[in-house]
Structure 1
Amino acid sequence: MGSGIQAVTPADVALSVRELSVSLPGGMERAHAVENISFDLMRGQILCIIGESGSGKSVTANAIMGLLPKVIRVSSGAVHLDGMNIVGLSPDKLRSLRGRVVSMIFQDPLSALNPLMTVGAQIEEVMAVHDVGTPKSRRSRAIDLLIEVGLPDPQLMYHQYPFRLSGGQRQRVMIAMALALEPAILIADEPTTALDVTTQAQILQLIRDIQRRKGMSVMFITHDFGVVAQIADYVVVMEKGRCVEQGGAEQVLKSPSHLYSRRLIAAVPHLTGKDRVPLHAADRVPILKVERLAKTYRSGSALFGKRRIVPAVNGVTFDLTSGRTLGVVGESGSGKSSLGRLLIKLMACDSGSILFEGRDIAGLSEAEFRSLRPKIQMIFQDPFASLNPRSTVGHILTVGPVAHGILYSEACERARELLSHVGLDSGAFDRYPHEFSGGQRQRIGIARALMFRPKLLIADEAVSALDVSIQAQILKLLDQIQRETGVSMIFITHDLRVASQICDEIAVMHRGQIVERGPPSQIFLDPKSAYTRELVAAIPGEQAGSMLEHAANP
């Protein structure tokens, strides 16, 4: 281990993990999800646990919360909370601690929120379970929390169901639920992964403010060293279930002692002022031409005066030539994902045209569009929701190509090849989605989209759930595939650092409209729009970029 455990007195420690090991069932890649890890979370401290997908970060958090699935178990070690070992406590005693003493923000808000309950009811339920307040005070507290985490129109949001919210908005609801009882310890498992840069900065500031105001201790799990540089007091670096280094944030960031820590820091994306070297393609006829595309969401009832009209996509116009990548960036709720769904015809537009290879596909029926679907593929934002939990990964990857006439043996060979390309071992073919981490599930989604060798690839937050080293690998893979096949890409992302590295041109969306468009050098170094300038200023870790760069290249 690169650095020793902190020398502290028991009174200073909010949470102490000692020699914790969590066993995996037989036949897995390794025997332990977590093996002999020890660290202390001090009172009033923000401790960041960082590592790649599958390193054991989330398993550690779930072990502390007593939320491990039945197939894995704590085989040895102790977790001391206020001097009491909570490993082996009864479910009732653990339930009394959750939310009140220690609370958790989960990585995947879609699977953590109840789809049959409104947002307000779910926040109130946290308080009701612990018999806190009256129905009226709980409602007032829920609305205050929605305001605190920056959700728009909190009175209306209180009555919304999770499926009506964007990915970033759902994550903010999770944060509001976790903070409802202002617990002494907050465990945040990738809480800003799905958030745009301005909301991410706001949420990080919110967690910091609450932590300082209440003396709260925070265990923050992340794969982004930019976030670590911004908020951490103490850092624990994990690799394949082991703690390889820990120490003060400045020490680990400036002088990492372990090779793995240095590799993670080197993989952190930074804004580049250089434009991408274009493909040498003779054909510059647009493969995609979008004109005045519009989509408005309508909900509620005009009869009761609760009609809600939201112009998600409002007169969007752009074109995309073969072998080029257009980045679409903007805040959560700006219309980025709605635009992607319109382009792949997962929903119908209200007006406008979508010319794909010269043919307007906007008005085509599903039957008419079916033959074109293999040519336009999408990598979805939420891999948990887009993968069939009852199918093996092999079936998920091969069922589409086989349905379109490709031989099963050929489809299997292609699937195994792509799984290897996106960083998964050969055993992944026969496993189910729930057996993978969030980042690994996203890689499966990328492999599925590439199975058809599409002409247009729409990547909706394709690398948002990936750790920085795998993120760099996937971006390199997408670049390589584009240069080999000439596929065109619409790259939807909230991470401007990623957009600056892979995109030939960037369109900035705000409230359903494109407010600025240009090459990365212009968008990031000389933005014309005040909104674009605000996005660039909010990028996490850019202020600490020189520190990280020095650590990566000592």
Structure 2
Amino acid sequence: MTSAPQPSASEDVALAVRDLTVSLPAGMERAYAVENVSFELKRGQILCIIGESGSGKSVTANAIMGLLPRSIRVSSGAIRLEGMDLVGLSSDKLRDLRGRVVSMIFQDPLSALNPLMTVGAQIEEVMAAHGVGTPKSRRSRAMELLTEVGLPDPPLMYHQYPFRLSGGQRQRVMIAMALALEPAILIADEPTTALDVTTQAQILQLIRDIQRRKGMSVMFITHDFGVVAEIADSVVVMEKGHCVEQGSAEQVLKSPSHLYTRRLIAAVPHLTGKDRVPAEAAATSSVLKVECLVKTYRSGSALFGRQRIVPAVNGVSFDLSPGRTLGVVGESGSGKSSLGRLLIKLLDSDSGSILFEGRDVARLSEAEFRPLRPKIQMIFQDPFASLNPRSTVGQILTVGPIAHGVSRKEAREQARELLAHVGLDAGTFDRYPHEFSGGQRQRIGIARALMFKPKLLIADEAVSALDVSIQAQILKLLDQIQRETGVSMIFITHDLRVASQICDEIAVMHRGQVVEHGPPSQIFLNPKSAYTRELVAAIPGEQQSSSRAVGSQSTLAGHSHK
């Protein structure tokens, strides 16, 4: 294990964490969320903290912000900021520091945003809470921030509620709120996890630009070594609550000293242009045939000329054979998730047909479609919102199959087997969703979808919240299940590296339309659309060169991150 950093001159250090230990409640799989963790964030630099889900990254960030839940507490150590020790500081003093001196971008934007307040009001509230500006200047600043983080039509976005935005758009609102007062220290907890590659590149560039312009210090929590290669000055690697390695980004990426770090780097997915070898010859009949599917969102009032019309899905058509996987990729707001919800009838289409095993389910009523629901399952993008907080994991997994006639004993046995398959321990069964990290909750969602042994599995960003090593395990698991059961999959993702590894066909969506459709070898090695070429070029951590074969292994260490 790398030794703790030696104390630096105080004027060079924005934030110093010394021997931080955070205790967990009795009965958990380990006694401490983090134990004897020490590191320094230098002024004007970007420190990346990387590790698997449950390694203690987010707990460390919440300890710094004074936002730990009551069930866990700092038992020892110090967190020094501007000459103060934040451990034991009063709530009033911590509240004064938040947003003004140190600000945080949270991992889960849906639960962090107030559903009853408009986007503009929430950004302005940050400034109003610290008595900054006038109502007019705060509104102007909010508009400026909405533009800066790349949200479309800022005057309209200003008046929108969070539920009207896509996952990526909500994350950008969170970033705008965190940057409202341009704090000295920014803690970013997986801020680009929910974003597509082009928006991710924009946000990383935005954070870099502000950091350089204002001399801001950034603590960037991520599970993606591609992001580390793009943005980090220094790196701290965490495993199961311990700091196992730290040093400059170049040192950690080029010459990792710890086995765990080497394993994480080896698990980073790379873009491949190889076509997937199917388990067997595809059947001639389609399990799913979509023809000219259309869904348009309307908001505002047509009477007063302020109606907004957004064609979320505009004439989409494709065929999916049994045992095959279609990847749907594109930017946030391109219509990927809307398409998934139409296929499972969580949204009603305006026109077009969805033929599932020869039957047009688009025209079926809810009562007529209900018997088919076990055959079509979905892994949702947001595991926090899709899991019942009042039910244990065991109840969440078994309630559906039991309602469809499976015995309680059989359902419980199957649930325990699936939890083990997705990398969760036996104690998971009797715990509640809030007791798990974001990545662990996503694995629970995957296990729930597989409980029904479906014919069609729709995975909406199923691995976006997972660290790279668990991503690899889940992708391997989905591939194994598909080859064993013949289940067909619609794999919706913004990560082209993941799509290239698991999909037989790729459909690239842009503004509700499929702009390109073909095998991975075409999409990633010889894209026909300029939009597809832009997506491939924006992948973090991949060397961008017109002479490079996309299927070759890119060298993270060789990528300039400055």
TM-score greater than 0.5 by the shorter chain: yes
Secondary structure at the aligned position of 1:352 is classed as strand
Q: 1:118 to 1:550 in 2, by over 3 A?
A: closer
Q: CA deviation at 1:284?
A: 2.6
Structure 2 match to 1:234: 234
Secondary structure at the aligned position of 2:220 is classed as strand
Structure 2 match to 1:520: 520
Please say if residues 326 and 491 of structure 2, whose CA atoms lie closer than 8 Å, have aligned partners that are also in contact: yes
Which aligned pairs between 1:342-491 and structure 2 lie closer than 5 A? Answer: 342-491=342-491
Structure 1 match to 2:549: none
What TM-score, normalized by structure 1, do the two folds share? 0.98
Deviations 1:23-81 (A, max 9, x none): 00000000000000000000000000000000000000000000000000000000000
**Aligned residues between the structures:** 551
Quote the Cα distance in structure 1 between the aligned partners of 2:304 and 2:440: 46
Q: CA deviation at 1:548?
A: 3.4
When the two chains are superposed, the root-mean-square deviation of aligned CA atoms in Å is 1.1
Please say if residues 6 and 40 of structure 1, whose CA atoms lie closer than 8 Å, have aligned partners that are also in contact: no
Instruction: Give runs of ≥4 in structure 1 deviating > 4 Å.
Output: none
What TM-score, normalized by structure 2, do the two folds share? 0.97
Letter in 2 for 1:66: G
Secondary structure at the aligned position of 2:445 is classed as helix
Deviations 1:362-417 (A, max 9, x none): 00001000110000000000000000000000000000000000001100000000
What runs of 5+ residues in structure 1 fail to find an aligned partner? none
Which aligned pairs between 1:244-259 and structure 2 lie closer than 5 A? Answer: 244-259=244-259
Quote the Cα distance in structure 1 between the aligned partners of 2:541 and 2:473: 21
Secondary structure at the aligned position of 1:283 is classed as coil
Structure 1 match to 2:315: 315
Deviations 1:341-365 (A, max 9, x none): 0000001000000000001100000
Secondary structure at the aligned position of 2:459 is classed as strand
Deviations 1:511-554 (A, max 9, x none): 00000000001100100000000000000000296433899xxx
Q: 1:127 to 1:282 in 2, by over 3 A?
A: closer
Please say if residues 542 and 556 of structure 2, whose CA atoms lie closer than 8 Å, have aligned partners that are also in contact: no
Quote the Cα distance in structure 2 between the aligned partners of 1:177 and 1:484: 47
Please say if residues 293 and 314 of structure 2, whose CA atoms lie closer than 8 Å, have aligned partners that are also in contact: yes
Structure 2 match to 1:133: 133
Deviations 1:278-322 (A, max 9, x none): 121462311000000000001111122210110000000000000
Structure 2 match to 1:184: 184
Q: CA deviation at 1:186?
A: 0.0
Letter in 2 for 1:187: I
Please say if residues 281 and 323 of structure 1, whose CA atoms lie closer than 8 Å, have aligned partners that are also in contact: no
Structure 1 match to 2:19: 19
Quote the Cα distance in structure 1 between the aligned partners of 2:301 and 2:59: 44
Quote the Cα distance in structure 1 between the aligned partners of 2:328 and 2:313: 13
Letter in 1 for 2:490: I
Match of 1:548 among 544, 550, 556: 556
Please say if residues 266 and 549 of structure 1, whose CA atoms lie closer than 8 Å, have aligned partners that are also in contact: no
Structure 1 match to 2:58: 58
What runs of 5+ residues in structure 2 fail to find an aligned partner? 545-552
Deviations 1:117-144 (A, max 9, x none): 0000000000000000000000000000
Structure 2 match to 1:87: 87
Quote the Cα distance in structure 1 between the aligned partners of 2:557 and 2:341: 37
Quote the Cα distance in structure 2 between the aligned partners of 1:102 and 1:320: 49
Quote the Cα distance in structure 2 between the aligned partners of 1:420 and 1:117: 40
Secondary structure at the aligned position of 1:311 is classed as strand
% identity of equivalent residues = 86
Secondary structure at the aligned position of 1:491 is classed as strand
Q: CA deviation at 1:7?
A: 5.4
Q: CA deviation at 1:4?
A: 4.8
Structure 2 match to 1:195: 195
Letter in 2 for 1:227: V
Quote the Cα distance in structure 2 between the aligned partners of 1:382 and 1:303: 35
Structure 2 match to 1:104: 104
Please say if residues 120 and 159 of structure 2, whose CA atoms lie closer than 8 Å, have aligned partners that are also in contact: yes
